[in-house]
Copies of this chain bind each other. A is one copy, B any other.
């Protein structure tokens, strides 16, 4: 354990053999995972709170390390948006501390037994929630993600190997020291959370190709990175691709609710995956609602791109091309289409959407019921803003990401998504007849 801990502390340039280094982390993680599986809730919480204390106590060191990352970033011409995500300050460290306290306060999912029932043979059968084992997390240069990922993997009883963006390497090393100290103080294995020390890109290629040591990979970042990792990974990947979210306003909608939802879903934040990118409006109410919507969006300077029928109602808006229906703008741009009823809306959503989050606004019970059943998205909403698709809003307490996969975890992934279920059978000497 000590060997690896000290390995973690060596600087990037001293690691010559990345393959051997990553295998070492993998082995240590596997060993730690066996101990973590048995870790009791109290010890895990103690570790989380101790990490929070170390963040508090080492605030100066962390900000210093971050300043050196930022200086290097500026020298290397890093874009302002990336520098902003890389930057730590007192408020962001406070948020990390608060995040740790929140995760400590969440119920421990490990060991929960569901559905324990007697069978005719006399055995009792149920399913127990258990950790996945070793989780590899690959993310960009956002040092706060280091602590967030560490805390969620730890609370769910997993060992983790964290590979953050190289621009954040000094910040991550400083945070990693707090993590190790917290684990140590709680009597948990320090290798339960390992931060990859090398900035060598080959480390990622190794991390995703060690099924003997790593049970699942969670990449967080741009679509192209995630696609590449999914393609090349030799272990399962829980991933988030795009969020092309729709709001469909049915003719039966309450107009005020429709307006509020359509405006909130687009303008509450532009860069998030649960932001609406295409608005579908039922033909009978298009003439009444579209001008009011356009007026509301104008306040936020949202650019509208419309189909022919919406352009006939709204003067001067740009024409939406076929690509606009597929677009995840992540910007103050909105595609608008007039459709003939819910069936047509669902067809549009199925064809162009990304199965992330889609909402209907309607007062019709039957349509609401059908929309819920028939739209194949990770979140389906009735009369609510797509912006609610979020682990905190859903009550998961925290989220490691939003999965657009169908298998294992779908939608916001909290502690439960980082666990699996095994069958437990309790008998009293029963044998199979």
Contacts and interface: CB of A to CB of B under 8 A. Distances in A.
Interface of A: 34, 37-38, 111, 117, 119, 121, 123, 125, 128, 130, 132-133, 215-216, 236, 238, 254, 256-257, 260-261, 263-265, 268, 350, 359, 368, 370, 372-374, 376-385, 387-389, 393-395, 405-408, 410-412, 420-432
A425 B373 contact: no
Given A125-B394, A216-B407, A407-B236, A389 B431 contact: no
Given A407-B132, A431-B261, A121 B388 contact: yes
6 contacts: A128-B372, A215-B407, A236-B407, A264-B431, A387-B432, A407-B408
Centre residue among A34, A261, A376, A421 by max chain B CB count within 10 A:
A376
Nearest to A126: B394
B119 A422 contact: no
Q: Assembly of this chain: how many copies?
A: 2
A286 B262 CA distance: 72
Given A111-B373, A376-B37, A385 B430 contact: yes
Given A117-B395, A407-B420, 18 more contacts: A34-B350, A38-B373, A119-B393, A128-B380, A130-B373, A132-B406, A261-B429, A268-B432, A372-B424, A379-B425, A380-B425, A382-B424, A382-B425, A383-B429, A384-B425, A384-B429, A389-B425, A411-B422
Interface residue SS majority, chain A: mixed
Nearest to A427: B384
A289 to B, nearest CB: 15
- The 3 A-B residue pairs with the shortest CB-CB distance in the complex, in nearest-first order: A384-B427, A257-B429, A264-B431
A270 B382 CA distance: 53
Nearest to A110: B373
Centre residue among A257, A264, A423 by max chain B CB count within 10 A:
A423
A393 B423 contact: no
B424 A380 contact: yes
A254 B381 CA distance: 55
Centre residue among A38, A216, A236 by max chain B CB count within 10 A:
A236
B410 A422 contact: yes
Nearest to A412: B423
A293 B411 CA distance: 51
Contacts of A376: 34, 37, 130, 133, 422
Contact of A423 (B34, B411, B426): B411
A382 B427 contact: yes
B406 A420 contact: yes
Contact of A422 (B261, B377, B422): B377
Contacts of A405: 236
Given A393-B121, A430-B388, A423 B261 contact: no
A37 B424 CA distance: 32
Contacts of A257: 428-429
Given A119-B395, A407-B236, A37 B429 contact: no
B430 A383 contact: yes
Given A123-B388, A130-B376, A133-B376, A254 B423 contact: no
Contact of A432 (B125, B393, B406): B393
Contacts of A427: 381-385, 388
A423 B423 CA distance: 25
Given A411-B423, A427-B382, A373 B37 contact: yes
A376 to B, nearest CB: 6
A408 B411 contact: no
A380 B123 contact: no
A373 B132 CA distance: 13
Contacts of A381: 424-427
A219 B125 CA distance: 26
